[in-house]
Amino acid sequence: MLDHETQTFAFTPAELEVVQQHIAKYPDPKSAVMPVLWMAQEKYGWLSDQAIQLVADTLSLSFAHVYGVASFYTMYFKKPMGKYLLEVCTCFTCGECGGKETLNYLKEKINADSDGISPDKLFWVREAECLGACDTAPVLQFNNGHYVHHLTPEKCDTLLENVQNGIMPTYERIPLTPQESKA
């Protein structure tokens, strides 16, 4: 992670082109705030006040407006967290199919602190509300992106080991019907 106290906060010319592409998608530039917050978070690792101010300045919005968006949604991080986020669904179906046990297993496996962060700051494990994959419970979402379905302790171990070795999870195709799974 970058040191947000001494870091210079600016988008590169190439990043500003992407910002302009986001702005062009909407009738009001204010609507580009979410994808531009994503860009800042990906660039700086989390959204410090300086990163939020960069987004506000780039989109000609108030700090308060951008901060309000960033603080409303859980996918925006307002403090440093682990590099890789593992969000385990614990809603009803996943909870009944082992989601809570999986969450606890992962926290124990990474030796998580009270915030769910590993001592090396590589992993951050937290509970997620419904991820909409009840049919493949329990499930987790990796870094606000790919899902990992049908979790077991062995599958969790493999995921952690792979990520430690630089192998990130990829899209996992889930058959929709029993016939499709045999094809």
User: Cβ distance 125 to 103 under 8 Å?
Assistant: yes
Q: What is the CATH number of the domain that holds 140?
A: 3.40.30.10
Q: Supply the pTM of this predicted model.
A: 0.75
Mark whether 125 and 57 lie in a shared domain.
no
Mark whether 68 and 95 lie in a shared domain.
no
Q: Residue 2: its pLDDT value, please?
A: 47
pLDDT at 165 over 70: yes
DSSP per position, 126-183 = EEES--S-GGG-S-EEETTS-EE-S--HHHHHHHHHHHHTT---------SSHHHHH-
pLDDT at 90 over 80: yes
Helix (H, G, I), strand (E, B) or coil at 16: helix
Mark whether 154 and 92 lie in a shared domain.
yes
Mark whether 111 and 154 lie in a shared domain.
yes
Q: What is the CATH number of the domain that holds 52?
A: 1.10.10.1590
In a domain, 180, yes or no: no
Residue 181: pLDDT band with limits 50, 70, 90: low
Q: Residue 6: its pLDDT value, please?
A: 66
Q: Residue 133: its pLDDT value, please?
A: 92
The parent domain of residue 52 ranges over 13-72
In a domain, 171, yes or no: no
Q: Please give the tally of structural domains in the chain.
A: 2
Whole-angstrom Cα distance, residue 165 to residue 22?
A: 34
Mark whether 103 and 156 lie in a shared domain.
yes
Give the rounded distance of the alpha carbon of 29 from its chain centre: 24
Mark whether 26 and 95 lie in a shared domain.
no
Residue 30: pLDDT band with limits 50, 70, 90: very high
Tell me what percent of the residues of the chain surpass a pLDDT of 90: 80
